[in-house]
Chain A
């Protein structure tokens, strides 16, 4: 488990060891959805908003 900073609120975000680029993590402080941009070291960015054609 590692930690990095939320790009939305600056709070600490805990990250699992099996983190994948493209995965979404939630900030436990502000609730923002964050996309994993890189894993080594971990880099997060605001996740894209839900689009109408997303799904199965």
Chain B
């Protein structure tokens, strides 16, 4: 197949993907979105004869617009721009999960410092304030006191651009020192890992320790439903364990008996290098298997149409 990779930075994830694609003999067109224009009726990007374009943009804004334009030209692109739109925004993400019946942390969105403070007081301390667009655990605030809440809200309202005035307030989930990242293709788990840290943030990008996690049936069910809720695709579904007794001792890499899960977000340009390092699964190979199937499905749909 002839596959385009939208990018603005080649991370180790993209190198793994490029290597797998080339090893299988696929023709790869790297498309640096910084170098192109996207007009209403076409683009300078070389996409005309591609079987599939994979969005690997590091920048969320570029990802959203580039995929939207390519889709408008009829270029097969994964992930779908609608999926990107939902996943890129935590508020939309939460709404989609809630609508699909996926357990997700209680969340308020408020538009002023005063109304945000009311939400914070309602949730009680600690609770969490997140940017609606953001990643890698950046600008996340665990709020322990009213004094801290007032200070953070004032800083965001004064120093932030307009998105920071959309206050996304969430209950604090007292997870057992770890959360779970599942990379899935159209709801089918490719591999899963736990990310453990003494810090309340357990992002791999924040230095959390990672190891393979054995998904149970409930986690698999939630991954599938969460994926469907945002439109499917190559996704990173993040879960936290809830209902875990304080004295429960989880086996590393195993679910806790009797625990359930809450899904806090689904990521649409998922990084998988940490998963590749933590599990025996050949993640890039599984991703390329899926890309090949997607290209074939797009091709069949075009022939049928």
Contact = CB atoms under 8 A, between A and B. Distances in A.
Interface of A: 18, 20-24, 35-36, 47, 51-56
27 contacts: A20-B30, A21-B30, A21-B32, A22-B10, A22-B14, A23-B15, A24-B11, A35-B9, A36-B10, A47-B9, A51-B59, A52-B134, A52-B138, A53-B59, A53-B60, A53-B133, A53-B134, A54-B58, A54-B136, A55-B58, A55-B60, A55-B205, A55-B269, A56-B135, A56-B136, A56-B267, A56-B268
A17 to B, nearest CB: 12
Contact of B9 (A18, A22, A52, A53): A22
B4 to A, nearest CB: 14
A46 B161 CA distance: 26
B75 interface: no
Interface of B: 7-11, 14-15, 18-19, 30, 32, 58-61, 133-136, 138-139, 205, 236, 267-271
Contacts, number: 58
Report which residue of B10, B30, B61, B136 has the largest number of chain A beta carbons within 10 angstroms of its beta carbon.
B10
A54 B32 contact: no
Given A21-B10, A21-B30, A56 B59 contact: no
B10 A56 contact: no
B32 A55 contact: no
A22 B7 contact: yes
Contacts of A20: 10, 14-15, 18, 30
Contact of B30 (A22, A35, A55, A56): A22
Contacts of B14: 20, 22
B236 A56 contact: yes
Given A54-B136, A56-B236, A56-B271, 14 more contacts: A20-B14, A20-B30, A21-B32, A22-B10, A22-B32, A51-B59, A52-B134, A53-B61, A55-B58, A55-B136, A55-B205, A55-B269, A56-B135, A56-B269
